[in-house]
Amino acid sequence: MIDGEQALRTITYREAVREALREALQKDERVFLMGEDVGRYGGCFAVSKGLLEAFGPERIRDTPLSESGFVGAGIGAALGGMRPIVEVMTVNFSLLCADQIINNAAVYLYMSGGQFNVPLVIRLATGGGRQLAAQHSRSLEGWYAHIPGIKILSPATVEDARGMLWTALQDPDPVLIFENSGLYNMEATLGADAGPVDIHQARVRRAGRDISIITYSASLYKALEAAETLAKEGIEAEVIDLRTLRPLDERTFLESVARTHRALIVDEGWRSGGISAEIASRIMEGAFYELDAPVARLCSQEAPMPYAKHMEDAVLPQAAGIVDLVRHMVNAHG
């Protein structure tokens, strides 16, 4: 589309992120991309393939394997007036730069008495399901959503993958974009004019009257698949894509619960102290008298992610599990 295509076209999530990067690099000369293997290798997930050739090594910068160092450099560049996009290969490695994110980027505005914003965007791949075992399959976005001072985006659709980056770059404060690595190959049809989208509202991806399934990222598709199965049994599930985990758009899910009177939260993160707990609490606080059943949660089993495929499938929330839970919530008979 950058090259002048006008019609609807089918692109992958990966291509959508790349288009967004390309657009940002073209529209704003302060934007640059920095991270491990983003240049010559074209990105660990091939997201930035071709960008080095198009924009040169000044703007597509390969970094050493030093997350704390290059995220810190990104913070410095942002303070200095640039609009850096820092790619941390996966959320697993973000633990090495958690200090930069939490202790520096998130609080500079406050610590400087409002003098210094940090207009930094960090992109991270996240999620399990690809047989990468315990150290490379984490879903820690809910954890980062605990931290005031940063925004946590979780694009689940190709449209959001295409549109959230530019909006994030316009934000004066740090924004973390979590791209579920299982979604990179997913295809969808986008309009030629697809562009920036809002980052402050959840979306109802499927309307229904019997239960609100609240989810985000790759679990959205499991929830939608479950909703299709349930529809054949006469149960109409509403599916909400949170899109942004911080700040949470609680209005959208509270309004939904007020219509359906039941809520199930599906989260690839762990249950204890997770974002699912936060959402359940907000429903309790804001829609208690609307509830016709206890709020339910389907999260990953609280175990390190197994390597074996069948065991990994057993740990992650699945559509079949959603269907079972919803059936019980809606059709219970004592």
Partner 1 sequence: MAEFRMPSLGSDMEAGTLLEWRVKPGDRVRRRDVIAVVETEKAAIEIEVYADGIVERLLVQPGEKVPVGTVMAIIRTEAEPDTPRPTASEPVSPPAPAKAATPEPMEIQFPAADRRIKASPYARRLAAHRGIDLGAVQGTGPGGAISAADIQRAVPSAPAEEKSRPVPAEDKPAEGPHTAMRRAIAAAMARSKREIPHAYFQTRIDMQRTLDWLAAENLKRPIQNRILPVVPLIRAVSLALEEVPELNGFWVEGRHRIAEAIHIGFVINLRQGGLIAPALLNTAQKGVDELMAGLRDLITRARSGGLRSSEMTEATITITNLGERGVETVFGIIYPPQVALVGFGKITDQPWCENGMLGIRPILTATLSADHRAVDGHRCALFLDALNRRLQEPSTL
**Catalytic residue annotation:** 67, 136
Angstrom distance (rounded) from CA 171 to CA 151 = 9
3-state secondary structure the chain: CCCCCCCCEEEEHHHHHHHHHHHHHHHCCCEEEEECCCCCCCCCCCCCCCHHHHHCCCCEEECCCCHHHHHHHHHHHHHCCCEEEEEEEECCHHHHHHHHHHHHHCCHHHHCCCCCCCCCEEEEEECCCCCCCCCCCCCCHHHHCCCCCCEEECCCCHHHHHHHHHHHHHCCCCEEEEEEHHHCCCEEEECCCCCCCCCCCCEEEECCCCEEEEECCCHHHHHHHHHHHHHHCCCCEEEEECCEEECCCHHHHHHHHHHHCCEEEEEEEECCCCHHHHHHHHHHHHHHHHCCCCCEEEEECCCCCCCCHHHHHHHCCCHHHHHHHHHHHHHCCC
In terms of CB distance, is 78 or 235 closer to partner 1? Answer: 235
Q: Which residues bind partner 1 (CB under 8 A)?
A: 261, 288-294, 328-329, 332-334
Angstrom distance (rounded) from CA 51 to CA 249 = 34
Rg (CA), the chain: 20
In terms of CB distance, is 25 or 265 closer to partner 1? Answer: 265
| One-letter amino acid of 288 | F
Least distance (Å) from partner 1 to the CB of residue 282? 15
Least distance (Å) from partner 1 to the CB of residue 291? 5
Least distance (Å) from partner 1 to the CB of residue 106? 25
Least distance (Å) from partner 1 to the CB of residue 148? 19
Least distance (Å) from partner 1 to the CB of residue 120? 34
Least distance (Å) from partner 1 to the CB of residue 158? 37
Exposed e or buried b for every residue in 72-83, given b needs 16+ CB within 10 A? bbbbebbbeebb
In terms of CB distance, is 156 or 329 closer to partner 1? Answer: 329
| One-letter amino acid of 237 | A
Q: Which two tokens stand for residue 147?
A: 């931290």
In terms of CB distance, is 247 or 294 closer to partner 1? Answer: 294
Least distance (Å) from partner 1 to the CB of residue 293? 5
Compute CA 248 distance to the chain's CA centroid, rounded to the nearest angstrom.
12
